[in-house]
Structure 1
Amino acid sequence: MPDPFDTDYVNLTSPAVAHYIINPSDAVDLPVRPRAVFVNAAGTAVLQDNDGEAVSYNLTAGAVLSIRPTRVLATGTTAQLVAWY
């Protein structure tokens, strides 16, 4: 399909161009660091940042988190999340 925006620069303020279901892991970083995280099903998510700091969030379905975690921990995560990048 033609994409008139194919040559535009992709940055954090432009729409995502791909996505994947996040599989939480206590040992493995995300395969691609997302520009945002979408909450597909409500619950708790434990997100880890660049510094290894993990914070637990209580989330509602449909929320968009403007954080770029390096890892979503399995321990404590019950929400279903989608990575946008």
Structure 2
Amino acid sequence: MTDQYRTYARGLESPAQQHFLIVPADGVDLPDRPRMLRVLTGGDLSMRDINGVVVTLTVLACETIYFSPVGIEATGTTATVVGWV
């Protein structure tokens, strides 16, 4: 496949290029910090930010979460999500 944009620098407004399944784990940083999250299976999602603050949201399948968490906590998470980078 030809990528006609390969010579352009990627900015924060650029679309993501890859995704990875996130396995929730309490107090463990994600291997790659995603630009955003995509919900595969709805439920509760506990996200940890750069200050260690955890917030739990109820999310729906196919929802996009425009947040770049440091970690996804196992405690309180029932949703399945992927990270986009």
**What TM bracket, shorter-length normalisation?**
over 0.9
Task: Give the TM-score taking structure 2 as reference length.
Answer: 0.95
Q: TM-score, normalised by structure 1?
A: 0.95
Deviation of residue 65 (structure 1)?
0.7
Q: Distance in 2 between matches of 1:11 and 1:43?
A: 31
In the TM superposition, structure 1's runs of 4+ consecutive aligned residues that sit over 3 Å from their partners are none
SS of match in other structure, 1:57: strand
Look up the match of 1:33: 33
Q: Report the alpha carbon displacement of residue 6 of structure 1 after superposing the two structures with TM.
A: 1.1
1:19 matched residue in structure 2: 19
- The separation in 1 between residues aligned to 2:61 and 2:45, in whole angstroms, is 12
Q: Using the alignment, how far apart are the partners of 2:12 and 2:40 within structure 1? A: 21
Alignment length, in residue pairs? 85
C-alpha distance in structure 1 between counterparts of 2:71 and 2:55, whole Å: 11
Identity of aligned residues (%): 39
**1:53 aligned residue:** 53
Q: Which runs of 5+ in 2 are unaligned?
A: none
Q: Report the CA distance between 1:13 and its aligned residue.
A: 1.2
Deviation (angstroms), 1:2: 1.8
Q: Distance in 1 between the 2:38 and 2:18 partners? A: 12
Quote the RMSD (CA, aligned, Å).
0.8
In 2: Cα distance, 1:32 partner to 1:7 partner: 24
Deviation at 1:68, TM superposition (A): 0.3
5+ long unaligned stretches in structure 1: none
Equivalent-residue separation in structure 2 for 1:14 and 1:67 (angstroms)? 15
